[in-house]
Amino acid sequence: MKLNVGLSRKVGEPNYGARGASVVGKERDYISPSAITTYQQCPQRYRFKYVDGLPETIVSSALSFGGAIYSALEFQFTELLCGNKPPSQDQLLDVFQEAWRGRATEYEDIRFGKGEDHNSLSSLADRMLTAFQATPAATAADTVIGIGIEEELRRELIPGVPDLLARIDLLTTTSDALVITDFKTARRRWSQGQAVEHTRRAIEARRFYPAPSPMNCPTCPFRSECNAWTGD
């Protein structure tokens, strides 16, 4: 797992890798990358989460880790935009740990991957944040004007297709552009062609079915509901 930084685009360029906030459905007129990814992993999980609205009591350690890293990055840029000095490594790790504890309180069970535990992920966070602070992105406010952190962005990308609703990590300006930067803790970068249109049509057609996977099922918060499901 690594921290991908500098995935920046000028406004107007599609970025299906942005973290999303919701999903296309009967009562919604927008779509998000996170919901699309959920459907691609398992249509049944998508249904339980976005259509039936079932509560999630289980979360994967990867999701908790990513959220805690984002909290540390948000703290970094908030301090810079306020005109303060960059936070120290210890300060960033404190923010990471506080965000992790928040996840542990929110969910009944954090499911760790093979060979993982809280200590190993804390060490990984230390290495990732150290690497981040050595990048130009860590001091972006020194060279550009920051104008937004964790900003919600909604716009039409393709006529006739629901709006894309996403939450943007960092908005900055240069002398000639508005730049969107998205940070990722995934093992690989998002690709640009993620079958968005195909997935949207499948969702609207209510094609929900289990997609068993040794990678996704162990950390799925809806395992009990899925095992009890007998079809519509």
- Please report, in tens digits, the pLDDT of each residue of the chain (232 residues total): 444 444 333 333 333 333 333 344 445 677 787 888 888 889 998 899 888 888 888 888 988 998 899 899 889 888 887 888 889 999 999 999 999 999 888 887 888 988 899 999 999 999 999 998 888 777 655 444 555 666 777 888 777 777 878 777 777 776 777 777 777 665 555 454 445 666 777 787 788 888 888 778 888 888 888 888 877 6
Question: Contact, 166 vs 20, CB < 8 A?
Answer: yes
Q: End-to-end CA distance of the chain, in Å?
A: 38
Distance in angstroms (rounded) separating the CA atoms of residues 178 and 35: 26
Residue 142 in any domain: the answer is yes
Residue 137 in any domain: the answer is yes
Sign, Cα dihedral of 155, 194, 138, 173 = negative
Residue 14 in any domain: the answer is yes
- CA 178, chain centre distance (Å): 22
Helix axes 33-41, 196-204, angle to 10 degrees: 70
Residue 229 in any domain: the answer is no
Helix H, strand E, coil C: the string for the chain is CCCEEEEEEECCCCCCCCEECCCCECCECEECHHHHHHHHHCHHHHHHHHHCCCCCCEEEHHHHHHHHHHHHHHHHHHHHHCCCCCCCHHHHHHHHHHHHHHHHHHCCEEECCCCCCHHHHHHHHHHHHHHHHCCHHHHHHHCCEEEEEEEEEEECCCCCCCEEEEEEEEEEECCCCEEEEEEECCCCCCCCCCCHHHHHHHHHCCCCCCCCCCCCHHHCCCHHHHHHCCCC
Q: How many other C-beta atoms lie within 10 A of the C-beta of residue 186?
A: 13
Domain that holds residue 18: 4-189+203-223
Residue 194 in any domain: the answer is no
Instruction: Check: pTM over 0.85? Answer yes or no.
Output: no
Residue 146: the pLDDT is 56
Residue 23: the pLDDT is 41
Residue 98 in any domain: the answer is yes
Residue 28 in any domain: the answer is yes
Residue 45 in any domain: the answer is yes
What is the number of structural domains in the chain? Answer: 1
* Cβ neighbours of residue 105 closer than 8 Å, sequence gap 6 or more: none
